[in-house]
A and B are shown apart, each in its own frame.
Chain A
Amino acid sequence: MPMTRRRWLTVAATTAAVLKPTLVRAETEIQFWHAMGGALGEKTKELAEGFNRSQSEYRVNAVYKGNYTETMTGAIAAFRARQQPHIVQVFEVGTATMMAATGAIKPVHALMAEAGEKFDPAAYLPAVTGYYTTADGRMLSLPFNSSTPVLYYNKDAFRKAGLDPARPPRTWPEVGEAVRKLQAAGLACGFTTCWQSWIQLENFSAWHNVPFATRANGFGGLDAELRFNSPLHVRHIGQLAEWQKTKAFDYGGRRNEATAKFTSGECGMLTESSAGYAGIKRTAKFEFGIGTLPYWPDVAGAPQNTIIGGASLWVMAGHSPQAYRGVARFFSYLSSPEVQADWHQFTGYLPITRAAWDLTRKQGFYEKNPGTEISILQMTGKPPTENSKGLRLGNFVQIRDVIDEELEAVWAGKKPAKEALDAAVRRGNDLLRQFERAHR
Chain B
Amino acid sequence: MERRRVFPHRVLPYLLVAPQIAVTLVFFFWPASQALWQSVLIQDAFGLSTRFAGLENFRTILSDPDYRHSLGVTAVFSSAVSALALGSALGLALMADRVVRGARAYRTLLIWPYAVAPAVAGVLWLFLFNPTVGIVAFALRQVGYRWNHLLDGREALLLVVLAAAWKQISYNFVFFLAGLQGIGRAVIEAAAIDGAGPARRVVSVVLPLLSPTVFFLVVVNVVYAFFDTFGIVHAVTGGGPAKATEILVFKVFRDGFVGLDLGRSAAQSVILMAIVIGLTIVQFRWLERRVHY
Q: Name A's B-contacting residues (CB within 8 A).
A: 69, 73, 76, 79-80, 97, 100-104, 253, 395, 397-398, 405, 408-409, 412, 434, 437-440
Interface size range on B against A: 20 to 34
Q: How far is the CB of A214 from chain B (nearest CB, A)?
A: 22
A102 with B259: in contact, given A405-B242, A438-B43 (CB under 8 Å)?
Answer: no
CA distance A104 to B44 in the complex (A): 11
CA distance A103 to B47 in the complex (A): 10
A395 with B48: in contact, given A408-B242, A438-B42, A438-B43 (CB under 8 Å)?
Answer: no
A439 with B44: in contact, given A69-B258, A395-B259, A397-B258 (CB under 8 Å)?
Answer: yes
In the assembled complex, B241 has its CB within 8 A of some CB on chain A: yes
Closest to A260 in B: B132
- Interface of chain B, helix or strand or loop or mixed? loop
Q: Name B's A-contacting residues (CB within 8 A).
A: 42-49, 51, 60, 150-151, 241-243, 257-261, 263
Tell me if A397 and B259 are in contact (CB < 8 A): yes
Q: How far is the CB of B192 from chain A (nearest CB, A)?
A: 49
Tell me if A398 and B259 are in contact (CB < 8 A): yes
CA distance A437 to B51 in the complex (A): 10
Closest to B50 in A: A438
Which of chain B's residues have a CB closer than 8 A to the CB of A434? 60, 261
User: B44's contact among A73, A100, A397, A398, by CB below 8 Å, is which?
Assistant: A100
Tell me if A439 and B49 are in contact (CB < 8 A): yes
CA distance A79 to B47 in the complex (A): 9
Which of chain A's residues have a CB closer than 8 A to the CB of B49? 438-440
Closest to A404 in B: B242
Tell me if A438 and B261 are in contact (CB < 8 A): yes
Which of chain A's residues have a CB closer than 8 A to the CB of B150? 253
Which of chain B's residues have a CB closer than 8 A to the CB of A76? 45-46, 260
- Interface of chain A, helix or strand or loop or mixed? helix
User: A438's contact among B151, B243, B263, by CB below 8 Å, is which?
Assistant: B263
Tell me if A437 and B259 are in contact (CB < 8 A): no
Closest to A101 in B: B46
Tell me if B48 and A101 are in contact (CB < 8 A): yes
CA distance A97 to B259 in the complex (A): 10
Q: How far is the CB of A314 from chain B (nearest CB, A)?
A: 12
Q: How far is the CB of A96 from chain B (nearest CB, A)?
A: 11
Which of chain B's residues have a CB closer than 8 A to the CB of A409? 242
Tell me if A80 and B259 are in contact (CB < 8 A): no
Tell me if B46 and A103 are in contact (CB < 8 A): yes
User: A69's contact among B44, B257, B261, B263, by CB below 8 Å, is which?
Assistant: B257
A79 with B44: in contact, given A73-B257, A405-B242, A434-B261 (CB under 8 Å)?
Answer: no
Closest to B262 in A: A438
Closest to B258 in A: A69
- With a 10 A CB-CB cut-off, give which of B42, B49, B260 has the most chain A CB atoms: B260
A-B contact pairs, 5 of them (CB 8 A): A97-B44, A103-B46, A434-B60, A438-B43, A439-B44
Tell me if A80 and B260 are in contact (CB < 8 A): no
Q: How far is the CB of B27 from chain A (nearest CB, A)?
A: 17
Which of chain B's residues have a CB closer than 8 A to the CB of A97? 44-45, 260
Closest to A253 in B: B150
A101 with B258: in contact, given A405-B242, A440-B51 (CB under 8 Å)?
Answer: no
Which of chain A's residues have a CB closer than 8 A to the CB of B45? 76, 97, 101
CA distance A108 to B127 in the complex (A): 45
Tell me if A408 and B48 are in contact (CB < 8 A): no
Which of chain B's residues have a CB closer than 8 A to the CB of A398? 258-259
